[in-house]
Amino acid sequence: MRYSITFAEDNYETLVRHLFLDANAERAAYLLCGVSRTADETRLLVREVHPVLVSDVVSASVNHMSINAASFMRAMKRADRLKMSFVFVHSHPTSFPEHSAQDDEEEVKLFRTAYLRIEGERAHASLVFSSPDRPRGRAWLRDGSKVEMDVVRVIGQRFRFFRRTSCCSNPPLFHRQVQAFGGGLQHELRSLRVGIVGAGGTGSAVAEQLIRLGVGHLYLFDGDTLEKSNVTRVYGSGVSDDGCAKVTILGNLAKKIGLGTEITTINRFITYRGAAEILRACDFLFGCTDDEWGRSILTRLAIYYLMPVFDMGVKISSANGIIESIHGRVTTLMPGSACLFCRGRINSDRISAEIMQASDPERAESLRKEGYLPELPGVAPAVITFTTALASSAVTELLHRLTGFMGKDRVSTEVLHLFEQSRVRTNNREPNLDCGICANREKGGRGDCEPFLDMTWRVE
């Protein structure tokens, strides 16, 4: 079992400002976290940062700190009441990046108390910071043993992954990419787990690019099979693949390319809970689905699991074979940014119509005729040049979030492509204050809950 912890960037900055306010004394804080448990990873999701108050510090120096017991008992009491995990954090001198022997001795007692005071099957942990960009973490288990954390994630204007170990040296095949971005990015790409929801025109183009960039593991989600008309825009496909699962085609493409990307294929739509839960294994996601139902799930996942989603859409308007407009967008969903509901990209009425259409098509048609359900769009125009351009834009957004190559001033969360005008625009919207998803602090980092994502799910 791997262990990790994920911060929204604002919480991380609040924490490190407190820890390094005084270079002459250790400082400490408590984190309260939601939890995500998958088959091979327990992921802590930071929801609250509580600095240890000066009045609760008994004594402190550059390499020592003693805290009043009432301080951590208050934090544990709150964690128990809110059903969260407890994490103890403190600073270390720059020359000592790991936990000390004294930490080992004191934390055994601290986390024995945490497991007694906080009910439920929770994971608790500790972090030490010898500098703002050098966190080290470990999970404390109920039996008193401890496991080093694999990675500390920070999600915001930049995506930062502080890993305990790095990948091996870069293969010569990636030499020209290393020339552009340096070896650090190539190591990071090899360590990433990326989900792609939808294996059609945009999804297959995203997959091809991520494979050739050297991403370590792709999770491919789509319940559709290929039709011959899809071959004009689905990468890796041919007319002989008619009737084959789209995710299988992309899995075969990865094998043919041969750069070592691991592939997990999920031949189901994420509107099924069993498929949607697998999304939690990823570091971030690309939303390449046309349906608003699926997009609503990705919107919630980005908030509940502090997991960035690059959501894409292309709309071609034409009449009698004459193009009127071609608009595309890449929207980055993550804590602190406006969700697809706030932006008007999806709405509850159309989602309800899609759910009704999938669960009871006859009743849906009846309600539609009576004017109680909106019409759903039919087969929309699609052209490979535009779906590929949008996929490239989304992958470029990822590279910027990892490297910052566009500069500090580039902080937009949506890129709009007006292809017929040869124009690109950007915007950066904050959540609407009355939004029940992205502006609801109870949702951010909530993690696993029942029902999953606080949603009602279709029958498997």
Q: Is the peptide bond before 374 cis (omega within 30 degrees of 0)?
A: no
**Residue 222 in tokens:** 């789509």
CATH code 3.40.140.10 region(s) in the chain: 2-163
CATH code 3.40.50.720 region(s) in the chain: 174-454
Q: How far is CA 312 from CA 164, 203, 223, 347, in A?
A: 33, 9, 18, 16
**Residue 61 in tokens:** 């120096």
**Residue 403 in tokens:** 């490297």
pLDDT value of residue 323: 87
Render 378-443 in DSSP notation, one character per residue.
-SPP--HHHHHHHHHHHHHHHHHHHH-TT-TT---SEEEEEGGGTEEEEE-PPPPTT-SSTT-TTT
**pLDDT tens sequence for the chain (460 residues):** 999 999 999 999 999 999 999 888 899 999 999 999 999 999 999 999 999 998 998 988 888 888 999 999 999 999 999 999 999 999 999 988 999 999 999 999 999 999 999 998 889 999 999 999 999 999 999 999 999 999 999 999 999 999 988 666 778 889 999 999 988 999 999 999 999 999 999 999 999 999 999 999 999 999 999 999 999 999 999 999 999 999 999 999 999 999 999 999 999 999 999 999 999 999 999 999 999 999 999 999 999 999 999 999 999 888 877 888 999 999 999 999 999 999 999 999 899 888 888 887 877 677 776 666 666 676 678 899 999 999 999 999 999 999 999 999 999 999 999 999 999 999 999 999 899 999 998 899 999 999 999 999 998 8
Cβ(272)–Cβ(457) below 8 Å: yes
Q: Which residues pair with 90 in a beta bridge?
A: 28, 128
pLDDT value of residue 246: 98
**Burial level of 379, CB count in 10 A (0-12/13-18/19+)?**
exposed
Q: For strand 414-418 and strand 322-333, is the pairing parallel, antiparallel, or unpaired?
A: antiparallel
pLDDT value of residue 460: 81
Report the b/e string of 247-272 with b at 16+ CB within 10 A: bbbbbbbbeeeeeebebbbbbbbbbe
Cβ(197)–Cβ(268) below 8 Å: no
Cβ(167)–Cβ(279) below 8 Å: no
**Residue 332: which H helix or E strand, with range?**
strand 322-333
Number of other residues whose CB lies within 10 A of the CB of residue 165: 9
**Burial level of 180, CB count in 10 A (0-12/13-18/19+)?**
exposed
When the candidates are 3.40.140.10, 2.60.120.620, 1.10.357.10, 3.40.190.10, the CATH number that belongs to 2-163 is: 3.40.140.10
pTM (predicted TM-score): 0.95
Give CATH for domain 174-454.
Answer: 3.40.50.720
pLDDT value of residue 136: 96
**Burial level of 321, CB count in 10 A (0-12/13-18/19+)?**
exposed
Helix orientation angle between 361-369 and 348-359, rounded to the nearest 10 degrees: 130
